Every structure is written in structure tokens, then in C-alpha cells.
Amino acid sequence: MSYKPLTKAVLPVAGLGTRFLPATKAIPKEMLTVVDKPLIQYIVHEAAEAGITDIILVTHSSKGAIENHFDKHYELETELALRGKQERLLPLREITPEGVRLVSVRQPEALGLGHAILCASPVIAEDEPFAVLLPDVLMHHPQKGCLAQMVDTYQKLHTSVVALEEVPDDQVEKYGIAEVQGPDLRITRLVEKPKVNEAPSNLSVVGRYIFTPRLMSLLKHTQPGAGGEIQLTDAMDALLQEEVMFGFEFKGGKSYDCGDKHGYLQANVEYALRDAKLGDTFREYLMSLDLQAR
């Protein structure tokens, strides 16, 4: 099957982020910072590194700060240039990667992740594959981003590719879980948020996907599932009846579930430790802490 080239990525950002209240009362959860950049900026850069040129934000009226972040702030840039603050200008100009365009579509009602992705269908052609990146999840790799690695696999196989990661038993209920076969991780079944005793494995869907065009048409007919929501995982499971799909094991890197306070704090500490400017002094500071004291 020959599809259009893969150039589009859907980023669902309409969720209200209630787990992070009160921090997310007036700012979108995707704008929470890890060290010095909002979560969404890391995600957009991961997509750009993978060759994505069109980012489709599926958003909500309360999330305008995300679009503003990727827009040019003319007054701020002029002011910094006038004051000769070149070192402050550079990070501003790096916010939107070269050659990347962002468009927004609205999700009028919170009907689930599957429904959010379906809201992007007017801007994705019927023969067009697309990526999905969940902005809650940060994927760090020292050499090559997760989506860029998945694109390599997609270019070889021309099937849907889904990032998978093992999770402990007590975490299984939080994720989509995959049943896989063989060393190439062919996916045979997908279940959204199963009870641990009903889960087909411990392999969770991490939040990075590449889909063949058929997924979008299946989403149109996907009925509400777990939690009464239209689940992306259910449409993926339906796709398995028609096409092969492979899991992608993210090796040599680390994922951070920033939809959870613990994962978010871990990301901040570990990204700070890796930061070229802050890392050394921050490491010294952490080592000087008396961790028994409160």
C-alpha cells in the first residue's frame, strides 16, 4: 500500500489537567515547565526531529497560551534586540522549529482521546498517515528522539507503529496494554486500562504512535469504551482485524509520565541534571541535601 509521506502529527491538548490543580487553573497543563521549557515545546521538537512539518493541536478555548507560545512575540523580540540581549532572544527564536507549522482544531466536548484525534480528521487526507504524540509523556534519548526512531521503522514496514514500554503490575490499570507476538513485537490485541489480572501483558502504550490512514476512518465508528470515553486504543484494536501493527521498544532512553506528579518531578530533576549549564551545580546541590530531613 502506498500512502502520502508522513508529515503530520496530532497533539491532543484539550484536556483540562485536573490532576495538577491548582497549578493548571489558569494555565494549560502542557505549559507546565520542565527546567526552562514548557512540556509542549519538547513534544513539538521531538516531532520536528522526526521530520514532521505540520503539527495539529486539538485544543480547547482555555488553552490559548499554547498557540501564543509558538507565535512570534514581536514587542518582546524588538525590546530584547534594542537592549542588546541577544542571549535572551535566541531561546525565543528556537521555540518553533524551522519549517514547522502549527494549526489548531477544537475539541468541542471532552469525549475521550479517540474523539480528540478524530477532531483532526478535516486536516488529514484520507490517504495520509499521521503521528500522534501525547504531550503528557516526555521521551528522552541522548542520540535520537523516540518518534524519529519510530519513523525509521515505519519507513521500512509501512504499517502502524506504536511505542511500548514495560510497566510494573500496579501501573497496568493506568495504560493501554498490548499483547504482542514474536521478536518483532507484532501486536495481536490492545486493551485500554485493563485490571491487572485481565491484562494480556505488562507492555503499556507509551504515548507515541504512527498510524496508517485507516485508523481515522475506524475512529469515526468507535463507540465509548473504558470510562465511557471514545478510546483511541479501541480503534487501534479494531485496526488489528484489518492490518498488521508493530510495537516499538524504546531502548537507550527514558520516558517520563508528566501527567502524574511523581513523573513530572522526576523529569524536572533528571532534565536539570542533564542540562549543560545547570547540571553540575544542580548535582552538587542535590548531593549536599540531607535527604532524611524534611
* Residues that bind ligand G1P in the complex, under the rule CB under 6 A: 113, 134, 136-137, 175-176, 192, 204-207, 232-233, 257, 259
Give the H or E element holding residue 219: helix 214-219
Provide, rounded to whole angstroms, the least separation between the CB of residue 114 and ligand G1P: 8
Minimum CB distance to ligand G1P smaller for 205 or for 219: 205
User: Look-up: residue for cell 528556537?
Assistant: 94
For residue 96, the minimal CB distance to ligand G1P (Å) is 25
Q: Distance between CA 116 and CA 101 in Å, rounded?
A: 20
Q: What are the angstrom distances between the C-alpha of 269 and each of 34, 223, 256, 265? A: 9, 40, 11, 6
Q: Residue 274 and residue 20: Cα distance in Å, rounded? A: 25
- Work out how close the CB of 173 gets to ligand G1P at its nearest, in angstroms, rounded to a whole number: 10
Closest CB to ligand G1P among residues 46, 257: 257
Among all residues, whose Cβ is closest to ligand G1P?
A: 176
* Nearer to ligand G1P among residue 96 and residue 146 (C-beta): 146
Of 136 and 272, which has the nearer Cβ to ligand G1P? 136
Backbone angles phi, psi at 6, to 5 degrees: -85, 110
Report d(CA 32, CA 40) in Å as an integer. Answer: 8
Instruction: Decide if 175 contacts 234 (C-beta within 8 A).
Output: no
Shortest Cβ 176–ligand G1P spacing (Å): 2
Nearer to ligand G1P, 96 or 113 (CB): 113
What is the C-alpha separation between 160 and 142, in angstroms, rounded? 25
Q: How far is the CB of 102 from ligand G1P (least distance, A)?
A: 21
